[in-house]
Amino acid sequence: MPQIIDGKAISAKVRAEVAEQTAALKQRGITPGLAVIIVGDDPASRVYVNNKKKACAEVGFYSEEHALPATTTQDELLALIKCLNARSDINGILCQLPLPKGLDDKAVIESIAPIKDVDAFHASNVGRIMLGEYSFLPCTPAGVMELIHSTGIEVSGKECVVIGRSNIVGKPMAMLLLHENGTVTICHSRTRDLAEVTRRADILVAAVGKAKFVTPDMVKEGAVVIDVGMNRDENGKLCGDVDFDAVAPKCSAITPVPGGVGPMTIAMLMRNTLTAALLQNGLE
Ligand code: NAP
């Protein structure tokens, strides 16, 4: 039987640690603050923003939401971020992506002060990740690393295969595995004979965005399989990139969807916001 990696429990542990450190920080008169910007009325973005606000309240952060209409101009959005950059009570700023048409995601991310960029999407933070000199790790890949660590597997020297090369998941994921001395291969839609590559993986991370894409013939016996995907199956049910029922019997450990990577992303956002508060107060 494979170990089913319990992302909910691991996420709760990370959030409890953050809450404990936040309580200690509050004793010194410092309350970490997160500003969340949402533009337009995308229902998925609304759910994510509500979850982030709830998580902030649970760990004891101050949070504020800036819900802007879809008609917001680029200049208006940049003016808001400029104002948040200057506020000492706001340690983290995140702008829920994707932005509505007409707004430039990249310019908006680049306008956030890197020290408040708790999503770690700013080019300066991305560069720091490459160099291995980071303060913030991108939330989803950082959450995946926590899940991998929970299995007890040593990344060093292992064959690690990441399917997907997006800037927010695949690329930083590969970098974090490399920093821990994994032998890393990144696959994408142009990869030839994908199954032949993924079958080499001791640690396989799927970040494709296609329901049940990873099938048993793509997985090595005893592999650790991490499923980042969040998709809907033919019945509208939430499912990952991995065909869980078929693949699980071959694995030593595997994440479910839901209850795997998903809960970790918010936990790591809370950790980054705490780190931002510590850094901005000269405490880290
Ligand atoms: P993305 O930007 O669409 O990237 C998908 C990647 O998969 C691309 O690099 C693409 O290759 C590759 N790909 C597509 N078809 C492929 C194929 N047939 N063979 C091999 N590679 C293929 O997606 P993303 O933002 O990285 O997200 C990936 C998944 O993770 C989505 O389901 C998303 O919802 C989920 N996600 C979950 C969380 C969480 O908190 N759990 C956070 C972020 C994302 P090319 O580059 O060649 O096109």
What is the distance in A from the centroid of ligand 1 to the CA of 164? 5
Q: Do you find a cis peptide bond into 141, omega within 30 degrees of 0? A: no
With a 6 Å cutoff on the Cβ, whether 185 touches ligand 1 is no
What distance in Å separates the CA atoms of residue 60 and residue 21, rounded to the nearest whole number?
Answer: 10
Atom of ligand 1 nearest to the CA of 231: 32
Q: How much is the pLDDT for 121?
A: 97
Ligand 1 site, residue 142, Cβ cutoff 6 A: no
- Give the residue numbers annotated as catalytic, written as ranges: 52, 96, 119
Among candidates 127, 218, 219, which has minimal Cα distance to 175? 127
What gap in Å lies between CA 103 and CA 101, rounded to an integer?
A: 6
Q: Which residues contact 265 (CB under 8 A, 6 or more apart)?
A: 139, 140, 143
User: What is the DSSP pairing of strand 183-187 with strand 3-4?
Assistant: unpaired
Ligand 1 contact, 209 CB (< 6 A): yes
Burial of 163 (0-12, 13-18, 19+ CB in 10 A): buried
User: What pLDDT, on the 0 to 100 scale, is given for residue 1?
Assistant: 86
Amino acid 189: pLDDT: 98
Question: Is the separation of the CB atoms in 284 and 278 below 8 Å?
Answer: yes
The two tokens of residue 246 are 């078929």
Does residue 183 have its Cβ closer than 6 Å to ligand 1?
no
Residue 140 Cβ contacting ligand 1 at under 6 Å: yes
What is the predicted pLDDT for the residue at 112?
Answer: 98
**Can you list the alpha helix ranges (DSSP code H) found in 61-163?**
74-86, 105-111, 123-131, 139-150
β-pairing, 231-232 with 92-95? unpaired
Q: Which residue out of 189, 212, 264 has the highest number of ligand 1 atoms within 8 Å of its CB and is therefore the one to mutate?
A: 189
One pLDDT digit (tens) per residue for the chain, 284 residues: 899 999 999 999 999 999 999 999 999 999 999 999 999 999 989 999 999 999 999 999 999 999 999 999 999 999 999 999 999 999 999 999 999 999 999 999 999 999 999 999 999 999 999 999 999 999 999 999 999 999 999 999 999 999 999 999 999 999 999 999 999 999 999 999 999 999 999 999 999 999 999 999 999 999 999 999 999 998 999 999 999 999 999 999 999 999 999 999 999 999 999 999 999 999 98
Q: Which of 194, 196, 208 to mutate to test the pocket of ligand 1 (most atoms within 8 A of CB)?
A: 208
Structure confidence at residue 284 (pLDDT):
82
